[in-house]
């Protein structure tokens, strides 16, 4: 495959990956809204503050699950501005590679006022180097998406547990 074709292919892969980032952030926002609604229902709508022992303890358990779920969802949308934050360990691109499409790299390696150095470095890249950079971006974004997916999954399961505990608390409240 010619370098120009590689560049187009890798750029397309990166764009697909970036869309998945938006999907995970949207799911995290949805889970945050559900958790906020559930917490509001538990303590103001269902008034578990006034409930007997079992319903109140179940509501507290549901609240704890919901709060941890909310934190997991929020952790998903916190930006990761460096490779070490993305990979949870020190990591660099191979052979002094310049990650010119990664905002964290550009901001840390080309401070304000150094745009001429940035432009010079980018202009010095040939098509094969630009294609490799696009592929590196896809790789990095894929790892970021996986982390986001893991946190969204945890948040979803905790919300499910909170809903089950809330249902049990409602049943216990009605039965007492």
pTM for this one?
A: 0.82
pLDDT value for 39 = 96
pLDDT value for 50 = 85
Q: Which residues of the chain have pLDDT under 70?
A: 81-97
pLDDT value for 138 = 83
Residue 125 makes CB contacts below 8 A (sequence gap 6+) with 98, 100, 133
Q: Let me know: does 100 contact 125? Beta carbons within 8 Å.
A: yes
CA atoms within 13 A on the CB side of 82: 9
Residues 58-71 have pLDDT tens digits of 999 999 999 999 99
pLDDT value for 167 = 96
Quickly count: other Cβ atoms within 10 Å of residue 53's Cβ.
9
Q: How far is CA 80 from CA 28, 88, 107, 147, in A?
A: 16, 10, 13, 11
């Amino acid at each position: 495959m010619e370098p120009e074709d590689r560049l187009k292919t890798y750029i397309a892969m990166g764009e697909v990956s970036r869309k998945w980032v938006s999907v995970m952030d949207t799911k995290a926002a949805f889970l945050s809204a559900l958790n906020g609604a559930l917490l509001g229902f538990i303590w103001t709508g269902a008034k578990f503050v006034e409930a007997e022992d079992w319903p109140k303890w179940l509501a507290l358990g549901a609240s704890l699950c919901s709060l941890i779920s909310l934190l997991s969802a929020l952790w998903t949308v916190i930006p990761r501005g460096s490779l070490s934050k993305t990979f949870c360990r020190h990591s660099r691109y191979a052979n002094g590679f310049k990650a010119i499409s990664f905002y964290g790299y550009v901001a840390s390696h080309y401070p304000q006022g150094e745009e001429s150095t940035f432009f010079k470095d980018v202009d010095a890249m040939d098509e094969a180097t630009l294609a490799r950079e696009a592929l590196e971006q896809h790789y990095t974004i894929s790892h970021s998406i996986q982390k986001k997916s893991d946190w969204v999954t945890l948040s979803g399961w905790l919300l499910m547990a909170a809903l089950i505990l809330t249902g049990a608390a409602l049943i216990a409240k009605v039965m007492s």
